[in-house]
Amino acid sequence: MSEYLSVTGGSPSAAFFDLDRTLISGSSAFTLAIQARKVGLVPTRDFVKDAGGAIAFKLFGASDDTSDEVKKRILGAVVGQRQVDLMGLNAEILPRLIERVRPEAKRLLERHRRAGRDTFIVSAAPQEIVEPLAQALGMTGGIGTRSIVDNGVYTGELDGPFCYGAGKVEAMQSLATWNVYDLSQCYAYSDSASDLPMLEAVGHPVAVNPDSKLERHARRNGWPIVIFSQRTKSVIRRTLSTAATVGIGAGGFALGTQVHRKNSRFRR
């Protein structure tokens, strides 16, 4: 991998990783839905509908209308549920997600740590899943979708931005302000054109296993394009126009439970 990527230290900065099909192979939402169905938190009919939606997203991407529908589904699914029950799913979900972390992503995380750069997950997945996963991977923190909790029960309303599209940028900008990151020195990775706002917000965007729209945009703008294998192979492709030094990235801040870390000073 060293023949393709060079990560150096400098002013305070961070690396921002999309989760699904970037940091991990496949969909975290599907893994969450399977386990939620097993314990009775998601009815079978909703599981089937969400599975179909996940397939459609994979094949055709997401428009503003479909992303609004995704947001409604995410919030609607937890209305009346106890937060402790969702957090309890981590015992089964986290090992499965960790198994699916791409080997190349693990190496990139390590290179960023050695360069003194903070690393974050940014995902529309629930904060109760994203933050523990980030901790388990030794990352600085995670951005996830946070829902309002009243007396331990979800109300079905957002508590902060929906961490999708422009919502990810809002989170990253807030984190950059508090931690004095220079976004022009930061890195971001994603596979999807839905994350163009996140990629365009940093100085070092990288397209990972990109969908067709993101690949076209990356080629037009001279962004690095890397292909992560499903298993163990290293990066095998990049754009010819990429400079010798290529950024790597993952981003986020804690939107849910307050995270106390030496490297993260964000406070709501």
**Average pLDDT over every residue of 121-128:** 90
Q: Is residue 249 part of a domain?
A: no
pLDDT classification of 254: cutoffs 50, 70, 90: very low
Instruction: Print the domain residue range for 95.
Output: 14-226
Determine which helix (DSSP H) or strand (DSSP E) holds 34, and give its type and residue range: helix 28-38
**Bridge partners for 113 per DSSP:** none
Among this protein's residues, is 20 annotated catalytic? Answer: yes
Own/partner long-range contacts of 214-217 (Cβ < 8 Å, ≥24 apart)? 214/190, 217/193
The tally of domains found in the chain comes to 1
Task: Kindly report, residue by residue over 65-91, the tens digit of the pLDDT.
Answer: 556 666 676 677 677 888 888 888 888
For residue 46, the model assigns a pLDDT of 52
Average pLDDT over residues 235-246: 32
Which pLDDT band holds residue 241 (cuts at 50, 70, 90)? Answer: very low
Q: What is the DSSP letter of 234?
A: -
Residue 20 belongs to some domain of the structure: yes
Beta pairing class for 147-150 and 153-158: antiparallel
Q: What pLDDT is stored for residue 207 in this prediction?
A: 97
Pairwise pLDDT comparison (230 vs 195), residue with the higher score: 195
**pLDDT class for 52, splitting at 50, 70, 90?**
very low
Q: What is the pLDDT of residues 140-163, one digit of tens each?
A: 999 888 888 999 998 888 888 888
Q: Which of 18, 191, 195, 211 is catalytic?
A: 18
Point out the catalytic residue in the list 20, 118, 191, 195: 20
What is the C-alpha to C-alpha distance for residues 110 and 106, in angstroms, rounded to an integer?
A: 6
CATH number at residue 178: 3.40.50.1000
Q: Is 85 a catalytic residue?
A: no
Q: Tally Cβ neighbours within 10 Å of residue 32.
A: 25
DSSP-assigned states of every residue in 126-163: EHHHHHHHHHHTT-SEEEEE-EEEETTEEEEEESS--S
Q: State whether residue 120 is helix, strand or coil.
A: strand
User: Does the pLDDT at position 47 exceed 70?
Assistant: no
Mean residue pLDDT of the chain comes to: 75
- Whether 34 is in a domain gets the answer yes
In a domain, 71, yes or no: yes
Name the pLDDT band for 60 (thresholds 50, 70, 90): very low
Beta-bridged to residue 189, according to DSSP, are: 17, 206
